[in-house]
Structure 1
Amino acid sequence: MSSFSHVPESPIYYGYNGSPFVSKLEAVLKLKNIPARRVDVPLTPPRVDILALGIPYRRVPVLAIGKDVYIDTSLISEALEKAYPSSPILATDVGLQKAVTKFYDHFLFNLGFDILPWNKTPKSLQEDRKKFIGRPDIDFDEVATRKELAHSKLASHLAILEEHFSDGRVWYFSTPSPTYTDAGIYAVLDWIRSFRATRPVFDSTVFPKTVAWFGRLDTLFAAKPPLGKVKGPDAAKEIFSSTFTADLSQIGFDEVEAKRLGLKKGAKVVISPEDSGRDVVTPGVLIALSKQEAVIETEQKGQHVIPSLRVHFPRLGYSIREVPNGENAKL
């Protein structure tokens, strides 16, 4: 039984240039040949086009498959694999792919944070990122002093990749074509590679097989047609007028997990990331829960009532809590 129905030919996602995780999603979309369209949102909040969906959420990308909205590239990629099964990228070693990609997402993104040329960024961006990571006391001048250490760590990561590719494999898991893991590692390293100071670290004489792997993906992605664009108001209108596409019976409601979390089906909850962006919570009614996914339905109240959407979150990396009676959760 398929877990999706009435899937749109061209899903809609929200993001901005320069985000490694938006780039990761775009790599996945291109590998799967999905002609998705992007709503461009600003580098810093408020991101009114996402808020227009009735979804307060701090990070990007966000992707809608009909009226089912997905958060975080890990869950987004799984949803795309099920909704658009042609050109599979998670067909083999699924658990291992998730684990390896999560490892690189975490360590390489944090490494990139230390390598970013913060001295060339506006103060407004620095202040926003302090809120984003929950570190109001961070000193970006001190971060700049760690750049050479970060370059050394980057070289260590590249050395591990070089060792991995030393057996002559073409793609990370010796598959006939690139996988989710290839897309994930490539996107975050390509973001780091875009910083001028790091380019000497990507030395083809030191890491020939890794640089060759990069080159193969560079060529592959350059040959793909560009993804489309759509304006925020048009995207919202299309999403609200569409149908729910995910079969929630395939997710179910795990009563054991609910008991562990102190939750019940139909409870009013808020969900937020556990690391960066946790200052913004997403409220809704809990309608599905498994060990890997939680789904809430938005409740729209007030002067301008808009249709409810279902918002899907991965369990790992996100916290869920019930809203006590009387607490203003803006449901």
Structure 2
Amino acid sequence: MTRLSRTSPAASERSLHQAYDTALLDLDGVVYAGGEAIAHAVESLASARVDGMHLAYVTNNALRTPDAVAEHLSELGIPTEAGEVITSAQAVARLIADQVEPGSKVLVIGGEGLRVALRERGLVPVESAEEEGLAAVVQGYGGPDLAWGRFAEASYAVNRGVPWFASNTDLTIPGARGIAPGNGAAVEVVRIATGAEPQVAGKPLPPMHRETVLRTGAKRPLVVGDRLDTDIEGAFNGEVDSLLVLTGVTDAAQLLRAEPRHRPTYVDRDLRGLLTGQPQVREVKGAWQCGGWSAVALGQTLDVARIATVPSGEPVAPEADPLDGLRALCAAAWSAAGDGACAQDAEKALATLGF
């Protein structure tokens, strides 16, 4: 993949689990939501693994340890070892270790995942800003019950000039009841109190990609995620291909408005997309066709309609997949937007497709 502006989803004659050696899978919104497996995730991942694809779970959530994540996935029916889990806690711990002396004390604002990752790098997690010789402050998602006073503790240290790090800056996190504030919202609290800026390790930034490559050894990776601003942008920054699944944060309207760095290589409903090829999106007389659908940008609107035949003259099956219509709409929107974000109204077109 190149970093040129993508103007349509790509095609793949081979199923994705055969075209790529490793799936770098986000967790929240992709494999599970609120702790429960997302529909089709367990069986899709099992099939991909049986056919030889390596699975690695790459998450910006720094709350839990790799052991805990692996145990949870295994309980869901996805056999996983701790070494197959890569977290932003591990990425930020390496980032800190590269800048401070071995054995340095680090103030932790977050969960056990951060503490374990810091110890793995020979650092000492502490709880108070008053610790003598404090070398860094690190902030990661600590769950919904993280005490408000922890943000004050971070602020005291950062205001004294202690270097500040964040595992990630995702503003939201999906859960069983909907979308909740993520670590990025907590980082904003400390930023407001200090006026400082943290060094950030998680997706979409290079430290997370570096950590993932070091731990997986992937040669032909495919990033699989639900977020444009972390998973897909991270793949763009790492110059690898990506699959967006529509089971988490990103909806169809946001996908159409995606700027170049947020445009995925492939789009599918859920993880069943790993086990299939991806259809071609063709430009035909100023319109974009995919499957049984044709899409076009007309003035201030995007339009989509059924077609009777494909360019070869073959008839289109009557049960044309609305997802193909969305792929065609992506091509119309992204082509019209160029290096910016699509400004056309797509509400009617998406309603036609049921999105």
TM-score tier (shorter): under 0.3
Larger fraction in strand: 2
With normalisation by structure 2, the TM-score equals 0.24
The structure whose residues are more often helix, as a share, is 1
TM-score (norm 1): 0.26
